[in-house]
Amino acid sequence: MTTAENVQSLIDDLEAQAQQDTPDEATPEIGIIMGSDSDLDVMAGSEAGRPGAYDVLTEELGFEEQTDYDDPPESRFTFETFVVSAHRTPGLMYTYAETAADRGLDVIIAGAGGKSADLPNMTASIAYPLPVIGVPVQEKSLPSVIGMPQGAPIVAVDAGKSFNAALSAVQILARQHEDLRDRLVSYHEGLQDGVGDVSRDLHELGTPEFKSQRD
């Protein structure tokens, strides 16, 4: 299959999924898209860098990645992941955004790098009123991602922080799903406990001993 045929096949799949009468429980709630697979370490997280959207969704909040629209995972809450380039595959980007709601998505996380990081804001324009959370993959991508005109909204996080984008996406979903609200609260309480433990150890051990044990 040629590259053009592969892209068209993805477009056909998205359009076909949008026509299916699939229950919400069997469709992904969150869509994660990025402009290039080189963005994956930022969008998903990597062992060498900071954790990403994939990490918080799967390890902290109990989501599963859905890779087959016709054979969803057992988890009630799922997400999907695609590479969608605004500049190289504009037709795929348009179809993804246009069909997102009909395919069952409730929120999209879109990341892009470079100075012309157009994927998040173009997706937000096409998918409206579906909420889109933009992730500037690099610092230089920030002005492009957040530079939407009045009346064309996008929510955006700081450069590289897809982890926070995923948390925000789940906050949106938690307005309708009490179970997700409970998971978010539990995650936050875990952060508080961690700070409390560190603070007590630092105070009781003293700075030199605490530093030696941490190193």
Annotated binding site for substrate: 36, 39, 88
- Side-by-side strand order, sheet with 78-83: 64-65, 78-83, 30-34, 107-112, 132-136, 155-156
Question: Where would I find the H helices in 100-206?
Answer: 119-127, 142-146, 162-174, 178-205
Helix axis angle, 178-205 relative to 207-214, nearest 10°? 120
Binding positions? 36, 39, 88
**5 sits in which H/E element:** helix 3-19
List the structure tokens of 12.
Answer: 């056909």
